[in-house]
Structure 1
Amino acid sequence: MLDRLRVHVKGWLGMVILIMISIPFALFGLQNYTNGGSEKAVAEVGDYKIYQADVNQAYQNRVAQLKEQYGDQYSADLFNQEAIRQESLNRLIQEQLVLQTVNKDGYVASNKAVLDVISNIDAFHKDGRFDKTTYEQLLQARGLTTTDFVETVRASIEREQFINSIIGTTLVDESEIDEFHRLTNQTRDIKYLLLRISSVVNEVVVTDEELNEHYSQNKLLYRSPEEASIEYISLNLSDLMSEVSPSKDELLAFYERERQSFTVSGHRRASHILIEATADLADAEREEKRAKADMVLSRLNKGENFASLAKELSEDIGSAESGGDLGIITDGMMGAEFEKTLDSLEEGEVSNVVQTQYGFHIIKLVSKEADKVQPYEAVEETVTELFKLNVASERFYQLAERFAELAFENPDSLNPIADELGLTVEQQTGITRTSDEGIAASTKVRQAVFNEDVLAGNNSDAIEIGSEHLVVLRINDYVPEATMPLTAVKDRVELSVKKDKANELLTQKAADLLSQLTSGVTINTLSTSDDVLLEDIGPVTRHDKSVPVKLLNDAFSMSHPTQGKPSFKLSTLDNGDVAIIELSKVTDGDPTEMTETSRQTFKQFLSRLTGEVMLAATIENLSVEADVVLANQAQ
């Protein structure tokens, strides 16, 4: 639970923003996807209702994230679908609980904090810096306005403030740090007797009866995978680009038409002094705030320094300490009234008092840089690539629709596609559900190969296996999954039976040796046998690489030696070997050896860990206070 929570907490803000720009109708929007109509809610968080449509959308978004994360390795079989649905519902509930708490407790994200987040999102960068055109185009492509996105980022920052108010304020006692150091730096002195499975496996005799019995009971272990050979045809943008050979005149004409694409955007840098006045203020209080803003403007007009007054009087905690600096401002990043005023200013000029939803501002245009068109010679390579991309893209989208139509209209052959579109039919053999070569490296291709309709002899649908890369395939030959005959797998079956019998022998022998050890015989005495190896390791740490992981974990799970007598434990290793561990001494780490840097690192880790536990408990308490009701509970 803590691992999941840790990812959830640390990535909350980043995840919200990532989802917002990658998936339409974001999971963490401020409204339900549907008002529910007459549909019954699946969960209620206070007065807020969550409907099945919300859960379905959250589920689809989560699956999209998993597909992005795992790429071609993704398969629906890897995940419990019901568990993902439940996780999606839990996330919606938790998000609403936090959102309601944020609104109730008055968390506020400053304009500068919002701008800093947006301007540092790599997806909005071009040539290493924030690009307004990229920003607007990406949001527009996802059906989002800049205003909505800014407010979503603001809400995300406020949620992060709530989380950090718990995580970041958790205190850890010095004694807890000392105890943590003692445990993490603990050493254990061990020896172990090792009984190798290889020492007995070749001596084990297996009868035909045992072979037949094991084979009959474990036939699923001896099945050959289904396998297919295919022919396919591919439509790929990169191939089409390689066929484009523009002339110099064509490139120059393209450069002139698309000058905006080769223009480095100018920017405006602004500062402000904010006297906060939210919409819920009484008229008298609002007038007091306005009077304060007018007083600040009067002092500025008398020659006082803008940055000094911002540090002294601005109520925007995000920018006051930096003299009111808001950084680079691009269109859509601030409210309409703010930006209208900023547009009217000359470099170095200070505005009159301006009212927005956040209060009263006095705005200064610190610097202004005009857009700059890059000369053709500096961007010739980029111009060439963009020209090829434009021409090839237009051709790709012209062909793509016909590509899919021909595959559907001619379900029993790829030749009509090849003949009409001038493409080549290619072959690939030996494809299984786990193949990772050729086009079968794509999960989508492997899923299509073993699709029931394709196995019946039809063409696949057009499969998008990459950006602007379509494939249609059909089966040439198919061999279904089958149990291999005993004669074909006899060696494997025999080895498996031998290992099972050898493990029984080793376990019994190890138990006899352990009995002798507990009765007082020393471990050194028992190591005289040729088939028993003694390893005197000495002190090991929890992360020692010289000892098998399974054995190390068992050693640190053993009870401490008592009354000068060692502890013993059997440990079966992953390769089938059996060990008897002797633990003779446990030495805790010495807190006095910690450097100040290490102590601070431990403190941060424990504070974070404790804070995450407190956050989980807080959200659980919120669910009780907010009266969270699930439909199955209500019934």
Structure 2
Amino acid sequence: MLESIRKHSKFVMILLFLLIIPSFIFVGIDQSYFSGASPTVARVAGQDITQNDWDNTHRVESDRLRAENPGIDAKLLDSPEARYATLERMVRDRVFQAAAQKMHLVTSDAALARTLQGIPAIANLRKPDGSLDAEGYRALLAAQGMTPEAYEASLRRDMSVGQVVGNVMNTALATPVVANAAMDAFLQRREIQVAQFKPQDYVAKVQVSDEALKSFYAANTAKFQQSEQARVEYVVLDLKSVRDSIELNEADLQTYYKENAARLAGGQEERRASHILVNAPKTMSAAERDAAKAKAQAIADKVKANPSSFAAVAKAESQDTGSAPQGGDLGFFGRGAMVPEFEQAAFSMNKGAISDVVESEFGFHVIQVTDVKLPAVPSFAAVREKIVNDLKDQQAQRKYAEVAELFANTVYEQSDSLQPVVDKLGLKLQMADGVTREPRPGVEGPLANPAFLQALFAADSIDHKRNTDAIDLGSNQMVSGRVVNYQPAKQLALEDVTDRVKTLYVQQQSAVLAREAGEAKLQAWKADASQAQGLLPAVVVSRDNPVGMPRQVLDAALQAKTDSLPAWEGVSLGDAGYAIVKVNRIVGQAERTADFNQQASMQYVQLFGTAEGAAYYELLKKKFDVQIKVARP
């Protein structure tokens, strides 16, 4: 049959074409066919943000932050909160892009030019005639890995997007009366006293019975469920594991030592030089500078003809009053000690050589290098460990991409076990119990990565115990895992959680008793303030200085009506009990200057504009049907 197919291959190809292409026409081509079926983590205006999009964007953002802040803790960048913040920024950018497109907001060439002119780094590239130094502009952007075309397109897009919410925020207005009223409320200070009713003080009064526990359990079954969990094994590939697998031979170490001996020395080269200076400050006329240069050239020709006369000529001709008496000797110096032109000449010459005329801001120099001091080169044995570390670091960076591809292929092709990739790459097989679909508090590493957990709890992984695809964790790190044992979510029986039921019941009832006691005291003290006992010492609170008060207490204190004082307010603190707040008086505010009032008004307008912008963004999210499919950490 195979021979028949080979003889009629052209006919078979036509038949396959007729069978396959119509299926694509009528059914459509799933994007996952091309994208590798990366799961969707968010959707904006019908456009998906995939897990790969999220991972790549977060990796780029993390790399940028690491470059800008070398000392930053990598754990902060890879935390679930940091990753989710990246996703939210991606969603926000997509929303604004969709809005800008819908509203036909564009940035004109004139507006783009004005913005470019307002950027100091670009404004400094202007020539005396006012035109832009095109080469300098291109070099400035190239240093940041961009071309002028790409940068201007990005800036134009950002300006168009900025119009979406900027036009709303810039319309915020506030009259002095409104601003002052708002700032008065914010800055007002009140003297208060607080009485606390803590649940732990009422624990002994809680009556516990079997019927009460049964009722509490029945009313709160969701609190007594065991979430789905799994026992998993996983393998991590990172730079360290690649580095540990690298073996170096002695010949490579010796070669590296010979080629990098100067760098391994650790110190810096020093030069000793003498010079003859002919002064020529920038204030000299062109004719005077030409004459000074001619004089220096004559001196250079003279000492080159008779190098042994350099010191004598320097004493007689040099206009450097500091070094001339010593025959022009400047002693030893390292890089950075002399002006650039002098340094470049001195460090490019051999010992005993005499330079041509060298021009600097001080005038014209003739230089003779009299000695060269090289840093001591350590022995091979002394730096062998450093060489090993350097070479392993370099090779690990180069080898990681190759090993990562092998890692991904192995866990995919031999998907029923992780042992093949462990054996092939010398990795460590790690185990974890009680792994849940959402990261557990305090968990770090791969088991805190939502993408990895999502892959572990995919139907194929749970049902068939297959390896997950290689998941890129960023920072040159990949992971693959498989479910060894899976337990679906289940309701726990009362007899299995009796102690926990009792603990939660007592906590709830003691909080109820604390609240009831506080409410009774509040009514009694309102009727007769002389009965008030147990109030803490008076403190002065304000929005900008809460002195450690809980938010509920602070809100109650500053929102209480002060038509008659003292004023009393009761505050439920939930599981933390109850508090009674007594407002004794409104504390006078310091006199404000005109500048303070102006700044306060500007701050209020800014805050009001920010609030309007945030509210408008929420409206746009609804308009463009934003769906975030990943739970907030």
Rounded Cα–Cα distance in structure 2 between residues aligned with 1:162 and 1:448? 37
Q: Deviations over 1:122-166 (max 9, x none)?
A: xxxxxxxx9989964975xxxx75423234336646887999899
Match for residue 461 of structure 2 among 436, 447, 454: 454
Q: Deviations over 1:162-193 (max 9, x none)?
A: 99899789887665665455333312232333
| Cα 1:473/1:218, change in 2 over 3 Å | same
1:308 matched residue in structure 2 = none
Q: Which runs of 5+ in 1 are unaligned?
A: 1-50, 120-129, 256-366, 368-374, 528-532, 624-629
Pair 1:247 & 2:253 matched: yes
Cα displacement (A) at 1:223: 2.4
| Cα 1:247/1:111, change in 2 over 3 Å | farther
Pair 1:474 & 2:482 matched: yes
Rounded Cα–Cα distance in structure 2 between residues aligned with 1:52 and 1:497? 44
2:210 matched residue in structure 1 = 208
SS at match of 2:525: helix
Rounded Cα–Cα distance in structure 1 between residues aligned with 2:514 and 2:54? 47
Cα displacement (A) at 1:608: 2.5
Rounded Cα–Cα distance in structure 2 between residues aligned with 1:591 and 1:181? 14
SS at match of 1:402: helix
Amino acid at match of 2:584: S
Contact 1:191 1:537 in 2 (8 A): yes
2:538 matched residue in structure 1 = 537
Contact 1:107 1:161 in 2 (8 A): no
1:263 matched residue in structure 2 = none
Match for residue 417 of structure 1 among 421, 438, 441: 421
Match for residue 520 of structure 2 among 512, 519, 532: 512
Amino acid at match of 2:507: K
Identity of aligned residues (%): 20
Cα displacement (A) at 1:388: 4.6
Rounded Cα–Cα distance in structure 1 between residues aligned with 2:546 and 2:614? 33
SS at match of 1:584: strand
Rounded Cα–Cα distance in structure 2 between residues aligned with 1:444 and 1:584? 55
| Cα 1:421/1:508, change in 2 over 3 Å | closer
Amino acid at match of 2:195: L
SS at match of 1:458: coil
Q: Deviations over 1:428-472 (max 9, x none)?
A: 444344341454243333333333322231112112223332222
Amino acid at match of 1:238: K
Larger mean Cα displacement after TM superposition, 420-429 or 539-548: 420-429
2:607 matched residue in structure 1 = 609
Pair 1:92 & 2:77 matched: no
Cα displacement (A) at 1:571: 0.6
Match for residue 554 of structure 2 among 545, 552, 555: 552
| Cα 1:90/1:176, change in 2 over 3 Å | same
SS at match of 2:478: strand
Match for residue 196 of structure 1 among 189, 195, 198: 198
Rounded Cα–Cα distance in structure 2 between residues aligned with 1:59 and 1:434? 17
Q: Deviations over 1:488-537 (max 9, x none)?
A: 4223222322333334434444333333334x311x4142xxxxx32242
1:567 matched residue in structure 2 = 567
Rounded Cα–Cα distance in structure 1 between residues aligned with 2:388 and 2:141? 24
| Cα 1:184/1:482, change in 2 over 3 Å | same
Pair 1:484 & 2:492 matched: yes
Q: Deviations over 1:91-144 (max 9, x none)?
A: 53147759447679897224572844999xxxxxxxxxx9989964975xxxx7
Rounded Cα–Cα distance in structure 1 between residues aligned with 2:176 and 2:52? 46
Q: Which runs of 5+ in 2 are unaligned?
A: 1-42, 63-75, 126-135, 262-360, 362-373, 378-382, 626-633
Cα displacement (A) at 1:553: 1.5
Contact 1:62 1:88 in 2 (8 A): no
2:507 matched residue in structure 1 = 499
| Cα 1:86/1:473, change in 2 over 3 Å | closer
1:109 matched residue in structure 2 = 115
Cα displacement (A) at 1:71: 5.4
2:66 matched residue in structure 1 = none
SS at match of 1:412: coil
Pair 1:586 & 2:586 matched: yes
Pair 1:228 & 2:230 matched: yes
SS at match of 1:404: helix
Match for residue 148 of structure 1 among 126, 145, 150: 150
Cα displacement (A) at 1:78: 7.6
| Cα 1:238/1:604, change in 2 over 3 Å | farther
2:407 matched residue in structure 1 = 403
Higher gyration radius (CA): 2
SS at match of 2:407: helix
Q: Deviations over 1:10-32 (max 9, x none)?
A: xxxxxxxxxxxxxxxxxxxxxxx
- Relative to the length of structure 2, the TM-score reads 0.54
Q: Map residues 101-180 of structure 1 onto 2, 5 A cutoff.
A: 108-111=114-117, 113=119, 115-116=121-122, 136=142, 139=145, 145-153=147-155, 156=158, 178-180=180-182
Rounded Cα–Cα distance in structure 1 between residues aligned with 2:450 and 2:551? 33
Cα displacement (A) at 1:376: 13
Contact 2:511 2:574 in 1 (8 A): no
Rounded Cα–Cα distance in structure 2 between residues aligned with 1:237 and 1:501? 54
Rounded Cα–Cα distance in structure 1 between residues aligned with 2:552 and 2:494? 34
Larger mean Cα displacement after TM superposition, 84-93 or 421-430: 84-93
1:353 matched residue in structure 2 = none
Cα displacement (A) at 1:208: 0.8
Rounded Cα–Cα distance in structure 2 between residues aligned with 1:99 and 1:502? 59
Larger mean Cα displacement after TM superposition, 58-67 or 149-158: 58-67
Amino acid at match of 1:535: L
Q: Deviations over 1:189-237 (max 9, x none)?
A: 3233333322222211122111111112212212234443333333323
Larger mean Cα displacement after TM superposition, 223-232 or 461-470: 223-232
| Cα 1:114/1:247, change in 2 over 3 Å | same
Q: Deviations over 1:11-64 (max 9, x none)?
A: xxxxxxxxxxxxxxxxxxxxxxxxxxxxxxxxxxxxxxxx98885469997897
Rounded Cα–Cα distance in structure 2 between residues aligned with 1:426 and 1:478? 17
2:293 matched residue in structure 1 = none
Amino acid at match of 1:539: V
Rounded Cα–Cα distance in structure 2 between residues aligned with 1:447 and 1:151? 36
Matched length? 435
Contact 2:97 2:161 in 1 (8 A): no
Contact 1:196 1:577 in 2 (8 A): yes
SS at match of 1:460: coil
2:221 matched residue in structure 1 = 219
| Cα 1:220/1:250, change in 2 over 3 Å | same
Amino acid at match of 1:412: D
1:283 matched residue in structure 2 = none
